[in-house]
Amino acid sequence: MSSSDLSSAGAGHGRRCAPAVALLLAAATLAASVPAATGQAATRGGAAGAAEFDGARAMSWLERQCALGPRIPGSPGHAALEAAILEHARSLGLTAHRLPFERPHPYARETLRLTNLVILAGRGSGPCLWIGAHYDSRPTCDRDPDPARAAQPLTGANDGASGTAVLLHLAELMAAEPPPRPVALIFFDGEDLGRAGDLDGYCLGSRRLAEHWNDFGAPLAGPPPRGLILLDMVGDRDLAIPQEGYSLALAGEWTRTVFARAEALGLSAFVPEPGPAVFDDHVPFLRRGLPAVDLIDFDYPAWHTAADVPAACSAASLEQVGVLVWDLIRHPPD
Ligand SMILES: [Zn+2]
C-alpha cells in the first residue's frame, strides 16, 4: 500500500515460476509444517462448543509464508504460496477459484501474470461478506536506511503475510463451523509493486477484481456484497488500528459498524478515531461504490524495510483482528 503523504520507492523484477511438481511439493510441505488445527477449531462446532480464533495458529501461518522466501509475483515463493492456499482450501472441503490475468508490467517491458484467489464458504443466500488481504510481497526494502538491505526483497511478515495468515485460519474455522451467510476470502495479487509517488503501480489485483467481480460466471458475481473488510499490516506487535481515512470518508457507515463490533467485543487494538488515508486494495472497490473498510496499522517503523520480519509481529495482535472478523462472519451485521 502507499500513502500520499509518505514516500516509497522500489521496482519489481519478475522471475520464472518453478516447475509444477516442485510447487505441489512446496504446498504439501507448507501445509504439513503448520501444526494441526487446535481441537476446538477442528472438532467443535455448533452452539454447544464454538470454534474460536487462535492467534498462535494464525502466527504459524505467518511464519510459514515467510519461510517460503519472497512472494514477489513471478517468483518461486509466490507460486508456492498460491499452490498452498489452493491446497489448503481443497483439504478443508471449501471451494476455491483462481482468477488469473495478464497486464503490462508497470516498470518493465514484460507481461505481468497475476492471479487473484477466492475461497467461498457459508450458507444461505443473504449478502456476501468479503474478507480480503494481499498475498504478494514487495520486491525491495526500499525504505531501509541501509542501501545494501534496501535492494533486498521484503520478507513481508506484516506487509502481506499477516492478513493472509488471518484468512488462512479463518478458512479452517469456516470449515469447522459453516457461517450462516456466504463469505468470500479474497487473496489479492500484485498489491505491492508500486514505486514512490506512483499510485498506478499499486493494487493491481484489486483493481482488476473491482472491474470484473460481477462478470457473468465470476465467483463473486451477484448482488453487491454486504461489505469488504480488508486486512493489511495487522500483525504489528504494538497494534493500534484507527479508522483509515478513505474507508471513513467513503464508507463511513460500514466502517463504524465494524469498529462498533470491536468495541462490543472489548478488543483494545481498535481505536475508533480517524487515522491516515492509505491507498490500499479497498480503494478500487470504494471507487465503484461498494462499502469497504481497511483495517490497517500504518504506524509501523519496519514498513518496507528489512525489519519487517516475524519477530516484529505477534500472535496476540493477529488474534485481536481474527476474533473481530470471525465474530462478524458468525453474526453478520444487518
Ligand atoms: Zn507494502
Q: What is the DSSP string of 143-198?
A: T-SSHHHHTSPP--IIIIIHHHHHHHHHHHHHHHS--SS-EEEEEE-S-B--BTTB
Decide: 316 and 55 in contact? Cβ < 8 Å: yes
41 alpha carbon – ligand 1 mean position (Å):
31
29 alpha carbon – ligand 1 mean position (Å):
27
Torsion over CA of 84, 90, 91 and 93, rounded to 10 degrees? 150
- Residue 243 half-sphere exposure, CB side, CA atoms within 13 Å? 19
| Cα–Cα distance for residue pair 312/325, rounded to 1 Å | 22
Q: What is the CATH number of the domain that holds 299?
A: 3.40.630.10
- Write down the pLDDT at residue 157: 98
3-state SS class at 326? helix
156 alpha carbon – ligand 1 mean position (Å):
8
The answer to whether residue 2 is domain-embedded is no
- Domain extent, residue 210, equals 55-330
The answer to whether residue 149 is domain-embedded is yes
| Cα–Cα distance for residue pair 73/70, rounded to 1 Å | 9
The answer to whether residue 16 is domain-embedded is no
**What share of residues in the chain are helix, strand, coil (percent, to 5)?**
40, 20, 45
Tell me how many domains the chain contains: 1
**Residue given cell 489485483 in the structure block:** 205
- Write down the pLDDT at residue 279: 97
Decide: 26 and 83 in contact? Cβ < 8 Å: yes
The answer to whether residue 206 is domain-embedded is yes
257 alpha carbon – ligand 1 mean position (Å):
26
| Cα–Cα distance for residue pair 190/193, rounded to 1 Å | 6
281 alpha carbon – ligand 1 mean position (Å):
11
- What sign does the CA torsion over 276, 1, 282, 68 have? negative
The answer to whether residue 189 is domain-embedded is yes
Torsion over CA of 143, 149, 154 and 157, rounded to 10 degrees? -90
298 alpha carbon – ligand 1 mean position (Å):
10
300 alpha carbon – ligand 1 mean position (Å):
11
DSSP string, 228-272: EEEEES--BSS--EEE-HHHHHHSHHHHHHHHHHHHHTT-TTEEE
303 alpha carbon – ligand 1 mean position (Å):
7
194 alpha carbon – ligand 1 mean position (Å):
9
322 alpha carbon – ligand 1 mean position (Å):
21
- Write down the pLDDT at residue 29: 53
| Cα–Cα distance for residue pair 161/290, rounded to 1 Å | 25
The one-character DSSP state at 310 is G
**Residue given cell 519496519 in the structure block:** 302
The answer to whether residue 147 is domain-embedded is yes
158 alpha carbon – ligand 1 mean position (Å):
9
193 alpha carbon – ligand 1 mean position (Å):
8
Decide: 162 and 1 in contact? Cβ < 8 Å: no
1 alpha carbon – ligand 1 mean position (Å):
5
Mean pLDDT, contiguous 10-residue spans, the chain (334 residues): 44 33 50 50 46 97 98 98 98 98 95 98 91 98 96 98 98 97 98 92 97 96 96 98 98 98 98 97 98 98 98 98 98 94
151 alpha carbon – ligand 1 mean position (Å):
15
- Write down the pLDDT at residue 41: 42
**Residue given cell 517491458 in the structure block:** 109
The one-character DSSP state at 212 is H
- Write down the pLDDT at residue 181: 96
The answer to whether residue 130 is domain-embedded is yes
50 alpha carbon – ligand 1 mean position (Å):
35
The answer to whether residue 32 is domain-embedded is no
- Write down the pLDDT at residue 44: 37
| Cα–Cα distance for residue pair 301/309, rounded to 1 Å | 12
- Write down the pLDDT at residue 35: 53
Q: Which residues contact 31 (CB under 8 A, 6 or more apart)?
A: 84, 87, 88, 91
